[in-house]
Structure 1
Amino acid sequence: MTSDQVHVRTPLVWLVAAAFVCAGATAPSVRGQRREPAPEYTGLVGTYCVTCHNDRLKTAGLSLQSLALTNVPEQAQVWEKVARKLRSGEMPPATVRSRPDSQMAGALVNYLETTLDRAAVLRPNPGRAPVHRLNRAEYSNAIRDLLAVDVRPGEWLPVDDSGYGFDNIAAVLSTSPALLDRYMSAAHKISRLAVGDLTLKPVEEIYDAKRDPLKGSRNEQLNDDLPFDSRAGMTVGHYFPLDAEYVFKIRFLGVQTGGEETEIDPYQVRVAVKAGLHTVGVTSPRENLKPERDAPADGPGGGTGGRGGPAQIPSPVDLRLSGARLKRFDVRATTPEVNKLIIGGPYNATSRGDTPSRRTIFVCRPVRPAQEPACARTILTALAHRAFRRPVTSADIEPLYAFYRKSREAESGDFDSGIQAAIEAMLVSPEFLFRIERDPSTAETGTAHRVSDVELASRLSFFLWSTIPDAELLDVAERGKLKDPAVLERQVRRMLDDPRADALVSNFAGQWLHLRNVETVKPDPVSLPFDEALRQSFLTETSLFVSSIFREDRSLLDLLSADYTFVNQRLAEHYGIPRVYGSQFRRVTLTDVNRRGLLGQGSVLTVTSYPNRTSVVQRGKWILENLLGTPPPPPPPDVPELKAAPHGKVLSMREQMQVHRANATCAACHGRMDPIGFALENYDAVGRWREQDAGAPIDASGKLPDGTEFQGPAGLSRLLLTKYQDDFLRTATEKLLTYALGRGVEYYDYPTIRSINREAARDNYRVSSWILAIVKSTPFQMRRALDS
């Protein structure tokens, strides 16, 4: 390890230690204006709550016996919990005979929430998150926007831990020596790609094709990177580091190449390629007509080796680079299945190339050696300004310049290699890898203060884009204009219109709705009609659907009720939607009310099933946890498996769950989960509609513990949009606020959540109003100073 590496690594380790210190702040007490509660409220709590939640029983570890409704803000954590349980109807339990009048219980909830909201305005508590390390997605995007190198380097790092359902939670984004080594390695590789290192040695990159081992590929265009009249194949984005020659090798399933050397490998080609990111594709012409495949033995194209019998006519396969055909191969296979693509190089490099990254980095070019120091400082100042997300000083630039000078003065060094060394050091700086917010010197201990405009800019860009602020946002912040509400709103709307806002769908919605799990689920392809094409179709459908809700600024409620979706031919066949052809996705209107919204989409239905059957429990739990914010408690240990019926009788899922609920311990939670899951039983384990299960008609009716009845997916959606609409909106806001802040929601954030929903309600919960309300909220714009 060099002394320079130690110099960079040491502050990083100290920052990690500081992060744990910053995490320990506690909430200040809140004293709001008091309003005398109605005597009926005190009577309701004493009659229906204290009977179980008293000092002697302490049911669920809670006693209300010594708490008074006259000082609600002083016990905000307890009363917030009481208000939630009463509003959701969970307490008193449905099993008790005597329940309070619903109107009186609602009035008590309104009193509690109004009192707590008023106190929160008088004494805001925005909370405090520790130092925030960039997660893998943020790291990749930051590199892309800083250096114009889109190679997803976050995938070279270990998988991030998750908390509260998201992988951008500051408290769980830990740092270890192994991770620091990965950062060092990634910085070295990124800087060489960005600048272009003429000393790079040839390497081979192997890409495996996504294919279905049982069902093969479909006779249709794979994606828009390949020609319309092509079929199957694979595409990859590959970064070519230099202007040089590269070798492309294609491997086919069941086809022998005869060797690895150029002279005897019929499926490889060596060509010159310009540096930069290119799309490399392998595909075949679509089979519109069935050609004759037999040829005379030992004739042209024959490959029988003199054994007699028919020989296969070679099938054409195209290697394409950035849309253009590079070479056509003749493959001796009826339907060639691409297995691997191998790219090797660079060979015989001619130059560093003219890449977007070099144009971004080299904002000046020294003509004479005497101009190099000034130009180097100009380059490093511009890069550090974006990388550190704030104005930089000589104290920031001098350490980077020292790396530049050391590499420049080396025996084989030049100006470009010096800049490369400085960039490598910049990418392991704590100022780049961590989002660091500092309390102002005037902040009083434990009090709330506004974050600076520059800190607000970072909060905003990582929330909406999962990346660093762009030049416009940073400029507005540095001029102190971002705190202006009108300017802030203009910036938010501009950012939502930017393509980078797609990160909000992929990172927020992808984790909230568990869409990322679609990539890893493994339904049984023998018993279920599932293949890789369907997996990708599930992902694309829901991504396009959620993106349309955000892009078109629709109501948040449309997530559950929209009468449209996006399908290609493969997905339309799965759903039974007629007259949809080809692999391109298009928007279609849904005539079947059961398919409307998220609950009718194969992605959600598949990730909430087992590999070979549906799961009433998982589907019910998914809705309770992700849509209603009332997750059931963890199951007790040694929960028995669903038992088979005697005498070999095949039971439906409802019959099996009825046997399971006969256990009183299980019935308490399954009484809430199962009715919700039963409503979705017409969908099989991969979201295909069915009318029967185990030979019997499916009963998709549900009845909740409070007596509410509903029928099928459409009835469940109506229930969520009526009786449980407030719960859905509150849960969605909690999830988005958690993601925006990078910390879990605490009891002192509940007044903010109610305020956000009131603001969004004025515009029918349009996505822009919802996001703007979060951006303008107290915890997003403020921070609590350390208690000591």
Structure 2
Amino acid sequence: MTSSILTMKPLFAVCLLLFVFLGGRPVSAQEHSLSSFVSMMENYCVDCHNSAEAEAGLDLEGFGTDVQKRIVDWDVSAWEIIAKRLRGRQMPPAEATSRPTEAQYVAALSELETMLDQKAIANPQPGRTDSIRRLNRTEYRNVIRDLLHVEVNVNDLLPADELSHGFDNVTVGELSPLLLNRYLGAAERISRIAVGGQQLSPGGFTIRLPPDRTQEHHVQGLPLGTRGGTLIRRSFPIAGEYEIQLRLMRDRDENIEGLNGSHDIDVLVDRELVHRFSVSPPKTKKGWSKDDTLVDANLKKRFRVTAGQHAIGVTFPIKSASLSETRRQPFDASFNRHRHPRKSPAIFEVSIVGPFNPEGPGDTPSRRSVFTCRPETESPEEANRCARRILSRLMRLAYRRPITDGDLEVPLRFFAQRFESDGFEPAIETALSAVLVNPHFLFRAEKDPASAEPGDVYPISDLALASRLSFFLWSSIPDQELLQLAERGKLGHRDVLQSQVRRMLADPRSRSLVGNFAAQWLYLRNLDSFRPDMRRFVDFDDNLRKAMRQETELLFQDVVQEDQSVLNLITSQKTFLNERLAKHYGIPHVKGSHFRPVSLAANDYHRGGLLRHASILAVTSYATRTSPTIRGNWILENILGTPPPPPPPNVPSLKEKVAFQKVTVRQRLAQHREDPACASCHNLMDPVGFALENYDAVGRWRTFDDGIPIDSSGALPDGQKIDSVAALEAGIMRRPEMFVGTMTEKLMTFALGRGIEPTDAPAIRKIVNQAADKDYQFSQIVLGIVQSTPFRKRLAL
């Protein structure tokens, strides 16, 4: 039944639903007139659904007399899919000879959605999240930060999480033996850092800079008057001497790049100079030598660092230089000998090892967080009492609930064993390690009430609500205020919950929505693997890659922090630029490495909202060229929420250019669509993507491609003709609820940690409709999600 309904014509589906919903009985004056729907089906459905050509197996000829015999029951999920197609005006197809008027669409859709919403109220379906969900890598980092005030590089400690439904917090239900070993190692290391425990031998870490990073300009966060290098933020568990060692960038012949004359390298701790190296090529009687392979062999220095979080900077003081006299404008990229020769040496690797001659842990935020009491005597009883107080406070936050004596039993046992041999602080370190590998810390668990029967819908507890809320908005644990409200049973009250949501959105921890949610929804993480063809895009480097991502993140952050309409993500008249990105865009008068808002209203630089960002345009392109197909698919899936069906098996690839023949992407795609197996999907994707063809594969504006004028004409799935990015944006804004609904679906997927089901659609519609009254403010969407049935309730098994 479901597969048949999914392929039927939408207006027929609407009519069919009315018959089933009303049970085939005569309708009253308050109900819809049957004759109008009969007329609608006759006008738009019978041509395809008749005895001669019964598409999808549905014969509507003479349906008015025997339709009840042909319908057994109706599937809510199928009707929700039909409603989405109607909302996008995708059915009947745009090429159909006869289509309903806009008024008919609106009326039909309103009636269909009203009935679906009424059925959802009578029979709520909140869905079911997994009973046990592991902290993913990002959540683990944030929890350690908030629990112990320790910043850790989780990429060194834990493997990346797999994506599902577009996010990495969905498929996190299992813990393999290999991953468990990684968590054990991470727990020991983090506990030692937090407590300031002594290491048996010096430890260390190494940072490597991308080889395609240009280091000729200032790096944000380092002092002005410097160029290149890197800024490393790291926690040092113990005060003492640490040794830093530097390596410079080399070419494929192992020669140091850009080493022309002498250069200084500054090492800074919290912006204070602790040492200055000098490097220069070996001298011979004839001048500089090219045998420079050992120049950086002795770039080592020990310096004292106090315990705690520090920013280690390694950079070059700027040397004055005259302008290069060249016939052409110099490239912005400068990172290898063969295509972009470095003008000056660059940092490749920074290694820090220590501590040597340790002086002790000192006074750090992490130690103040852990050692909230000290035993007044050295007796085991006094030490145990203090340990109980310390662990109870930390475990309550770590486990996100009140702590019982049973919870304390294992950590206190580890504490007692270590206390006998090493004393109080090492014993706390060992007990803390036990806490950080406990399942109650690593997993978020939601249990069905003992009284719940399979199929029952029940509200989740306030403690579960607190965790859902904090991991949604902060990707971290509830803080004291949130946890206290949950423990007192007050968090579920509507006014209290709204107040907490607004407080949490105003907290700096809500920036995880930018780096975690937005980066996955908008594919920003894919920029790390984007490597354009350097023969075509000679100015591209890692500096530009980072600037592209930051522009998009700052726009999203601005919408969140200023509680703007989410429509500004599409229609924004400003963007965020630094000099590197502004130069890439051709926007003048932006100087320096720092980002700042730039108004674009008075000038048309073809920039503004998401669809004009180089980050989005790059991750939806190939290395050598643009892809209207990928771009169109990205818009359909992430902006309009109507992704095309998956491609059939064995689809032929797009033929690239034939030698000595100039063929545009549009022409090659037209040939590709001649195959019926390809046309069904490409007819939806390609016309949308063509509107962005004025942007090349790295997001630069262009009017020609290989000497051929750009043709950016296309169409939206509803048949609207578009011929530019501005027309595309205007088409999206004609029905803003499509974009807002899509963003709400993505946010809800991220909030729930599961895929969105058709049965969630009534809740999403309610959120969007209520947010419309407040111009779709970001906070209104978040409040709607948090108060929704899928977020507040759960289905028992």
What is the TM-score of this pair, normalised by structure 2? 0.83
Contact 1:194 1:358 in 2 (8 A): yes
**Is the 1:32–1:123 Cα contact (8 Å) retained in structure 2?**
no
Q: Paired residue for 2:754?
A: 743
1:752 is matched with 763
Mapped partners of 1:280, 1:155: distance in 2 = 18
Q: Are the counterparts in 2 of residues 681 and 698 from structure 1 also a CA contact under 8 Å?
A: yes
**CA distance in 2: counterparts of 1:400 and 1:563, whole angstroms:** 56
Describe the shift of the 1:51–1:701 C-alpha distance in structure 2 as closer, same or farther (beyond 3 A): closer
Q: 1:394 to 1:55 in 2, by over 3 A?
A: farther
1:434-482 deviation line (CA, Å, top 9, x unaligned): 1111222333432212111111111110000000001111111112111
Q: Match for 1:679 among 691, 703, 706?
A: 691
Task: Look up the equivalent residue of 1:623 and give its one-letter code.
Answer: I
Q: Give the structure 2 partner of residue 164 of structure 1.
A: 165
Tell me, which stretches of 5 or more residues in structure 1 are unaligned? 1-30, 293-332
Aligned-residue offset at 1:404:
0.9
1:682–1:700 Cα contact (<8 Å) kept: yes
Q: 567, 577, 582: which one pairs with 1:572? A: 582
Match of residue 38 from structure 1: 33
Which residue of 2 is the match for residue 109 of structure 1? Answer: 109
CA 1:70 to 1:432, structure 2 compared with 1: closer, same or farther past 3 Å?
farther
Deviations 1:1-30 (A, max 9, x none): xxxxxxxxxxxxxxxxxxxxxxxxxxxxxx
> Shift in Å at residue 670 of structure 1?
1.8
Q: Give, in whole Å, the separation in 2 of the partners of 1:501 and 1:129.
A: 23
**Is the 2:690–2:713 contact (alpha carbons within 8 Å) kept by the matching residues of 1?**
yes
Aligned to 1:659: 671
SS at the partner of 2:630?
A: helix
In the alignment, what sits opposite 1:391? 402
**1:705, distance to aligned residue in structure 2 (A):** 6.0
Instruction: Compute the displacement of 1:194 (Å).
Output: 1.2
Aligned to 1:235: 231
* Superposed CA offset, 1:38-79 (max 9, x none): 313356457755876799999679999998699999631222
Rounded to whole Å, the distance in 1 between the matches of 2:744 and 2:775 is 14
Structure 1 pair 271/263, CA: closer, same or farther in 2 (3 Å)? farther
Deviation at 1:172, TM superposition (A): 5.1
Q: Evaluate the alpha carbon distance shift between residue 489 and residue 706 of structure 1 in structure 2; reply closer, same or farther with a 3 A threshold.
A: closer
CA contact (8 A) 1:248 1:341 kept: yes
Distance 1:50 1:376, change over 3 A: farther
Q: Is the 8 A contact 1:161 1:173 kept in 2?
A: no
- Secondary structure of the 1:369 match is coil
Equivalent residues of 1:136, 1:159 under 8 A apart:
yes
Deviation at 1:98, TM superposition (A): 4.3
Call closer, same or farther: CA 1:705–1:239 in 2, change over 3 Å. Answer: closer
1:695 positional shift: 0.6
1:140 paired residue number: 141
Which residue number corresponds to residue 92 of structure 1? 92
Counterpart residue type for residue 708 of structure 1: Q
1:211-610 superposed matches below 5 A:
211-212=211-212, 216-218=214-216, 220-224=217-221, 226-253=222-249, 254-255=255-256, 266-290=298-322, 335-370=344-379, 371-409=382-420, 411=421, 413-528=422-537, 529-590=539-600, 591-592=603-604, 594-610=606-622
**Deviations for 1:711-769, whole angstroms, at most 9, x for unmatched residues?**
211111111111x4222111111111111111111121110010000110110001111
Q: 1:449 to 1:706 in 2, by over 3 A?
A: closer
SS in structure 2 of the partner of residue 82 of structure 1 = helix
Partner amino acid for 1:697? P
Residue 284 of structure 1 aligns with an amino acid whose one-letter code is F
C-alpha change, 1:156 and 1:285, in structure 2 (3 Å) is same
User: Is residue 135–residue 173 contact of structure 1 (8 Å, CA) maintained in 2?
Assistant: no
Give me the identity figure in percent: 46
Partner amino acid for 2:596? R
Post-superposition shift, 1:616? 1.0
Q: How many residues align?
A: 706
CA spacing shift, 1:374–1:68, aligned 2, 3 Å: farther
Task: Indicate how the Cα distance of structure 1 residues 33 and 94 shifts in structure 2: closer, same or farther if over 3 A, else same.
Answer: closer
- Kindly report the root-mean-square deviation, in angstroms, between the aligned alpha carbons of the 2 structures: 3.0
Do 1:141 and 1:152's aligned partners in 2 also have CA atoms closer than 8 Å?
no
User: For residues 622 and 55 of structure 1, what CA distance do their matches in structure 2 show?
Assistant: 39
**Residues 614-629 of structure 1: pairs in structure 2 closer than 5 A:** 614-629=626-641
CA distance in 2, matches of 1:648, 1:334: 37
Higher alpha-carbon deviation: 461-470 or 482-491: 482-491
Contact 1:135 1:160 in 2 (8 A): yes
Distance 1:566 1:69, change over 3 A: farther
Equivalents in 1 of 2:50, 2:372: separation in Å?
A: 70
Equivalence for 2:10: none
CA 1:720/1:101 → structure 2, altered by over 3 Å: closer, same or farther? Answer: closer
State the alpha-carbon separation in 1 of the partners of residues 88 and 184 from structure 2.
Answer: 50
Q: C-alpha distance in 2, partners of 1:233/1:570?
A: 16
Counterpart-to-counterpart distance in 2, 1:61 and 1:383: 63
| Contact residue 246 and residue 343 of structure 1 kept, 8 A | yes
**1:732 aligns to what?**
743
Does residue 1:695 correspond to 2:707, yes or no?
A: yes
CA distance in 2 between counterparts of 1:126 and 1:443 reads: 15
Cα deviations by residue, 1:162-208 (Å, 9 ceiling, x for unpaired): 11111111x55432121112111111111111112213311332211
Residue 183 to residue 512, structure 1, CA distance change in 2 (3 Å): same
Question: How far off its partner does 1:636 sit?
Answer: 3.3
Q: Structure 1 pair 72/482, CA: closer, same or farther in 2 (3 Å)? A: farther
Are the structure 2 counterparts of residues 418 and 715 from structure 1 closer, same or farther at C-alpha, using a change threshold of 3 Å? same
> What is aligned with 1:181?
181
1:119 equivalent to 2:151? Answer no
Q: Which moved more, 1:31-40 or 1:461-470?
A: 31-40
**What is the rounded CA distance, in whole Å, between the counterparts of 1:485 and 1:48 in structure 2?**
46
Normalising by structure 1, we get a TM-score of 0.84
Counterpart of 2:646 in structure 1: which amino acid?
A: P
Counterparts of 2:57 and 2:376 in 1: how far apart (Å)?
A: 75
List runs of 5+ in structure 2 lacking aligned partners: 1-19, 250-254, 257-278, 283-290, 325-341
Question: Compared with structure 1, are the counterparts of its residues 251 and 384 closer, same or farther at alpha carbon in structure 2 (3 Å cutoff)?
Answer: same
- Mapped to 2, the partners of 1:550 and 1:54 lie a distance apart of 52
Query: Does the 8 A contact of 1:525 with 1:531 survive in 2?
Result: no
Contact 1:561 1:596 in 2 (8 A): yes
Which sits farther off after the overlay, 523-532 or 547-556? 523-532
Amino acid at match of 1:566: F
Given residue 215 of structure 2, which amino acid in structure 1 is its aligned partner?
Answer: S
Instruction: State whether residues 703 and 710 of structure 1, in contact with CA within 8 Å, keep that contact through their aligned partners in structure 2.
Output: yes
SS of 2:646's equivalent in the other structure is coil
| Matches of 2:155 and 2:544, distance apart in 1 | 27
Post-superposition offset of 1:646: 6.1
Moved more, 378-387 or 586-595: 586-595
Distance 1:398 1:109, change over 3 A: same
Confirm or deny: 8 A CA contact 2:247 2:296 kept in the other structure.
no
Which residue pairs with 1:195 in the alignment? 195
Looking at structure 2, the residues matched to 523 and 360 of structure 1 have their Cα atoms a distance apart, in angstroms, of 47
**Separation of aligned partners in 1, 2:296 and 2:93:** 76
